Amino acid sequence: MNGGLLPRSFFAGTGVEVAPRLLGCVLSASSDDGEVAVALSEVEAYAGESDPASHAYRGPTRRNEVMYGAPGHAYVYFTYGMHFCVNLVCSPEGTATAVLLRGGAIVTGTELARERRSVRGSPADRDLARGPARLCQALGIDRAQNGLDVCDVASPLRILAAAGPVGAVCTGPRVGVSSAATVPWRFWIEGDPTVSVYRVHAPRRANHSGGR
DNA sequence: ACGGCGATGATCT
DNA sequence: GATCATCGCCGTT
């Protein structure tokens, strides 16, 4: 229980089954700049084509093709014009179930994470990887990491077993999801300060004014 | 503590 | 052309 690489069989279940077991596990990202690793404190499960909130809801596309592939790979997507988020693909292959990594505590490379997150100001350490886009920024994850095998010991992006006991697990509705909001597929560690602040999805009003 | 909102572009219809 | 699995800033309690 000292942070060994997780076997691919860890991802044998569906996203909903795998998600809570990922809490406390460590995602490690290495680059020329160094290594940053986070102990996961918050995740969300997505269920593929049967899930209205999933990117796979409308079937396979170029963007979501990694989710349809083998389990244990990273699905990275770009959203809101400026942010990246990362999922880990689960099983069975072809069903496109996955787990979105929403937050964690930096356990390696705090200095590098601070640099990457200090575009403006200097966030508190607990905010370095608190939220899915912040987590990617702290780890330096972008399009280049899409499709990487996190179960390969030689991969620059790897998933490791929890280094110690994990606290009590809580569940609740997913964040920022405009449909299927009632399914309690968000999992987090009770009382962990690196769990993101929950916000209900706020529909954005279209701008219909003809200008002004 | 909480709510509104702008930034900014890929993706899909 | 609308919608986004978001974040940070700024205003009000």
DSSP letter at A132 equals H
In the structure encoding, which two tokens stand for residue A58, read together?
């409308």
* A163-189: average pLDDT: 87
| Strand B closer than 7 A to residue A206 Cβ | no
pLDDT at residue A201 above 90? no
* A141-157: average pLDDT: 98
Quickly give A170 CA vs B6 C1' distance in Å.
33
Q: What is the pLDDT confidence band of residue A208, given thresholds at 50, 70 and 90? A: very low
pLDDT at res. A181: 65
* Chain C bases closer than 7 A to any CB of the protein: 2-9
In the structure encoding, which two tokens stand for residue A170, read together?
């809580």
| Strand C closer than 7 A to residue A131 Cβ | yes
| Strand C closer than 7 A to residue A2 Cβ | no
pLDDT at res. A212: 33
> What is d(CA A23, CA A16) in angstroms, rounded to the nearest whole number?
13
Whole-model pTM over 0.75:
yes
> What is d(CA A41, CA A25) in angstroms, rounded to the nearest whole number?
9
Residue A11 contacts residue A71 (beta carbons within 8 Å): yes
A39-86: pLDDT as tens digits: 999 999 999 999 999 999 999 999 999 999 999 999 999 999 999 999
Cβ-based neighbour number of residue A201 at 10 Å: 14
Residues contacting A18, CB < 8 A, separation 6+: A10, A11, A45, A88, A90, A99
pLDDT at res. A75: 98
pLDDT at res. A211: 34
